[in-house]
Chains A and B, each alone.
Chain A
Amino acid sequence: MCGIAAIFHGSGSEAAFLAEIDGMVSRLRHRGPDARGTWTDAAAGVALGHARLSILDLSEAGSQPMVSGCGRWAISYNGEVYNFADLKKELAERGHAFRGNSDTEVALAAIAEWGVEKALGRFVGMFAFALWDRQERRLWLGRDRLGIKPLYYGLFGGRLLVASELKAFRGLPGVDLAINRDALAAFFRHNCIPAPHCVYENLHKLRPGHLLCINREDLDNRQVPDSRPFWSARDAVATRGGGVFTGGPEQAVEALEEVLSEAVGCRMIADVPLGAFLSGGIDSSTVAALMQAQSGRPVKTFSIGFDREGYNEATHAAAVARHLGTEHSELYVTEQEAQAVIPELPVCYDEPFADSSQIPTLLVSRLARREVTVALSGDGGDELFCGYNRYHAGWKAWQRLRSLPGPGRRLLQGLLTSRSPEQWDRLYARVEPALPESLRLRLPGNKAHKMAALLPLSTPQEVYRSLVSHWKDPAAFVIGANEPLTNVTDPAMQLDE
């Protein structure tokens, strides 16, 4: 839920300051159409803004920005802390009093009780926030462990500006948004701009699982301190999630179902209608199944159908929905209706973004919004449980190629690239009729060149990068660009060999 913004340090009249933060938030109202709030401490030079999508505690007691009961902390926060009821109980036992029933209030009390970093360690959920500490006079920014909720920040003329989306930064006095060509090079490789980079100079995305703390002295020195992790995916992977599972396959399936049921169950708490996206694939079907198993009523599920063979998942989704007994809505769209979304994309994706499944994602979101305010999605299943073909195909191809001796590899590489993909395709077209069905290929020329590109690579990162790259040499393609380090290339981010 919600869009957030913050300014630190602002000067001038309080009225002008309020107008400025209000302007930022008003440009985020699509993220939070239900209410708009601002909070300033003009003497300290800090302003917080919030556009609210009401999900929990729809009353005024849940509105933001919110100040903690003790008065020390003020927060503008986007997200959900799903275990707020447990935390609330624990905090109440420690003497905290609560006015309402929002997770925001619980998050603030947790921060007041345990401090920022320890509190975040207790949160199960997704969030991005700007938090003002009135006692120490410093501003904290935080983003959830996996990077579900967005947060951008940047220094402009000694002022730190913070917001959920880039549109909020537009039109502010003293903010000149110049395009960062290096970030564009990363965009043409990855079809998106990886954190911490941003399409504009001076702006950054806060990294997932990171906290940033800034005070007036930093601003006077025109410096933004480095963010630091409160949780790291690298550590989670390197320590095997804290220890290798030692049980057998059957026990593992039981244990996974338990963990997943809990994760799904705690996400079914809302004071507004709730449902799920359902494509009929493994991930979204599992989420819908575990929701239905915990619900006394039919769960609402949503899917988009295309009138095109090979692209239509709706029939699978409908079959799964019928089996589970969900209340299923499907919308069939024509290709023209799907294409009609394209003019909206630059508004919705206000930083260049080019994963074409953004179109069906937008369509299914719009469908779901007709009936619900919250929808559970199955994203993450492929990455966590090994669902992508590139993991297997990349590994196998690499193993086969690496088993060739060096001179053989070079010879093969030379041979594969001695003809253009088109020449390979033409050559292939002549032999194809003689091949059995199982050996027939689509785009054989592209495949030959892809394989040739893998040959000189020696590490999994290099193979990964090659497989995910859209443009192979984007720095030569974007004028005046040097491709920046990303989590794929930064040696500090790699797992120990």
Chain B
Amino acid sequence: MSDAASFPEKMMYLDLVSYLPDDILTKVDRASMGVGLEARVPLLDHRVVEFAWSLPHSLKVRGGDSKWILRKVLEKHVPRHFHERPKMGFGIPLGEWLRGDLRDWAEDLLDEGRLHREGYLRPEPVRECWRQHLEGSGDYGYQLWDVLMFQAWLQHWA
């Protein structure tokens, strides 16, 4: 490489070949096609991807701004104060839901006897995670969501 990739660039590369296709694009394809909607992804035009990688990293992170160059393009159309806010992500209060409205649903899918019968996951770490999460001594919303989505999938398809 004419210009060796820096530490954050190596992480961005790994996102490009793992997180992006396997997580983000799968999420969007199934959700949109599930309702007969075609999603198009202009930032992933390969010409944009190649151009983005031709840029020095100093144009992406600059003066404390992440995505500096993209912000500059946007600023031509939308003044800065509209998009100067902390990153929020497309999130839901999952950890809290699991302790509240979704608790019974989760309890059923995470039942120890059930996990034993199915034979895919060791019940102990699942139960321990669930216990700590309910107690509030840990926040394991993401880990539990993995188990719950697998269990719900198994229930539906197996």
Query: With A281-B83, A392-B66 as given contacts, are A3 and B13 in contact (CB-CB < 8 Å)?
Result: no
Q: Are B82 and A242 in contact (CB-based, < 8 A)?
A: no
Which residues of A (381-401) have their CB < 8 Å from a CB of B? 381-392, 394-395, 398-399
Give which listed residue, B26, B40, B78, B146, contacts A471 with CB less than 8 A.
B146
Query: With A339-B102, A354-B145 as given contacts, are A320 and B50 in contact (CB-CB < 8 Å)?
Result: no
Q: Are A354 and B146 in contact (CB-based, < 8 A)?
A: yes
Chain A CB within 10 Å, residue with most, of B3, B17, B88: B17
Give which listed residue, A238, A243, A387, contacts B67 with CB less than 8 A.
A387
**Is A331 engaged at the interface, CB distance under 8 Å to the other chain?**
no
Q: Are A285 and B152 in contact (CB-based, < 8 A)?
A: no
Number of A interface residues in the complex (CB < 8 A):
158
Query: With A380-B43, A385-B52 as given contacts, are A208 and B31 in contact (CB-CB < 8 Å)?
Result: no
Give which listed residue, B39, B48, B121, B147, contacts A365 with CB less than 8 A.
B39
- Contacts A306-B92, A346-B153 supplied; 8 other A-B pairs, CB < 8 Å: A179-B120, A237-B16, A346-B149, A346-B157, A365-B32, A382-B67, A470-B143, A478-B121
How many angstroms from the CA of A445 to the CA of B147 in the assembled complex?
Answer: 23
Contacts of B10 on A, CB cut-off 8 Å? Answer: 460-461, 464, 495
Q: Are A389 and B25 in contact (CB-based, < 8 A)?
A: no
Contacts of A348 on B, CB cut-off 8 Å? Answer: 30-31, 34
Q: Are B44 and A361 in contact (CB-based, < 8 A)?
A: no
**Is B113 engaged at the interface, CB distance under 8 Å to the other chain?**
no
Which residues of B (25-74) have their CB < 8 Å from a CB of A? 25-57, 59-62, 66-74
CB closest chain-B residue, reference A272: B38
List the 9 closest A-B pairs by CB distance, nearest first: A147-B21, A241-B50, A289-B77, A263-B45, A241-B54, A380-B43, A354-B149, A346-B156, A460-B10
20 intermolecular pairs with C-beta atoms under 8 Å apart: A146-B16, A241-B50, A244-B2, A255-B51, A260-B73, A277-B39, A282-B74, A285-B78, A286-B70, A290-B42, A311-B91, A342-B102, A350-B153, A356-B92, A361-B90, A379-B44, A380-B49, A384-B53, A445-B138, A493-B17
| Chain B residues in the interface with A (C-beta under 8 A) | 1-3, 5, 7-57, 59-62, 66-74, 76-79, 82-83, 85, 87-94, 97, 101-102, 105, 119-122, 125-126, 132, 137-139, 141-143, 145-150, 152-153, 155-158
How many angstroms from the CA of A262 to the CA of B50 in the assembled complex?
Answer: 14
**Is A468 engaged at the interface, CB distance under 8 Å to the other chain?**
yes
Give which listed residue, A124, A187, A486, A487, contacts B47 with CB less than 8 A.
A124
**Is A112 engaged at the interface, CB distance under 8 Å to the other chain?**
no
Give which listed residue, A192, A240, A264, contacts B26 with CB less than 8 A.
A192
Which residues of A (445-472) have their CB < 8 Å from a CB of B? 445-446, 460-461, 463-464, 468, 470-471
Q: Are B67 and A386 in contact (CB-based, < 8 A)?
A: yes
Query: With A249-B59, A477-B121 as given contacts, are A378 and B43 in contact (CB-CB < 8 Å)?
Result: yes
**Is A213 engaged at the interface, CB distance under 8 Å to the other chain?**
no
Question: Distance in Å from the Cβ of A437 to the closest Cβ of chain B?
Answer: 15
Question: Distance in Å from the Cβ of B69 to the closest Cβ of chain A?
Answer: 6
Query: With A150-B26, A306-B92 as given contacts, are A460 and B35 in contact (CB-CB < 8 Å)?
Result: no
Give which listed residue, A245, A279, A282, A366, contacts B54 with CB less than 8 A.
A245
Contacts of B85 on A, CB cut-off 8 Å? Answer: 316
How many angstroms from the CA of A3 to the CA of B28 in the assembled complex?
Answer: 15
Question: Distance in Å from the Cβ of B74 to the closest Cβ of chain A?
Answer: 5
Give which listed residue, A190, A360, A495, contacts B23 with CB less than 8 A.
A190
Contacts of B68 on A, CB cut-off 8 Å? Answer: 385
Q: Are A30 and B54 in contact (CB-based, < 8 A)?
A: no
Question: Distance in Å from the Cβ of B134 to the closest Cβ of chain A?
Answer: 13
Please encode chain A, from 284 to 314, with 1 for each CB lying within 8 Å of some chain B CB and 0 for all others: 0111011011000000000000101011010
Please encode chain A, from 370 to 383, with 1 for each CB lying within 8 Å of some chain B CB and 0 for all others: 00111111111111
CB closest chain-A residue, reference B124: A477
Contacts of B23 on A, CB cut-off 8 Å? Answer: 190-192, 355
Which residues of A (245-281) have their CB < 8 Å from a CB of B? 245, 249, 252-253, 255-257, 259-260, 262-264, 266-267, 277, 279-281
**Is A184 engaged at the interface, CB distance under 8 Å to the other chain?**
yes
Question: Distance in Å from the Cβ of B78 to the closest Cβ of chain A?
Answer: 6
**Is A114 engaged at the interface, CB distance under 8 Å to the other chain?**
no
Question: Distance in Å from the Cβ of B75 to the closest Cβ of chain A?
Answer: 9
Chain A CB within 10 Å, residue with most, of B2, B8, B14: B14
How many angstroms from the CA of A368 to the CA of B53 in the assembled complex?
Answer: 32
**Is A421 engaged at the interface, CB distance under 8 Å to the other chain?**
yes
Q: Are B120 and A478 in contact (CB-based, < 8 A)?
A: yes
Q: Are A386 and B43 in contact (CB-based, < 8 A)?
A: no
Question: Distance in Å from the Cβ of A296 to the closest Cβ of chain B?
Answer: 16
How many angstroms from the CA of A356 to the CA of B49 in the assembled complex?
Answer: 26
Q: Are B149 and A243 in contact (CB-based, < 8 A)?
A: no
Query: With A259-B48, A372-B37, A495-B5 as given contacts, are A477 and B72 in contact (CB-CB < 8 Å)?
Result: no
**Is A70 engaged at the interface, CB distance under 8 Å to the other chain?**
no
Q: Are A256 and B78 in contact (CB-based, < 8 A)?
A: no
How many angstroms from the CA of A137 to the CA of B12 in the assembled complex?
Answer: 41
Question: Distance in Å from the Cβ of B117 to the closest Cβ of chain A?
Answer: 12
Q: Are B1 and A369 in contact (CB-based, < 8 A)?
A: no
Q: Are B19 and A80 in contact (CB-based, < 8 A)?
A: no
Q: Are B48 and A384 in contact (CB-based, < 8 A)?
A: yes
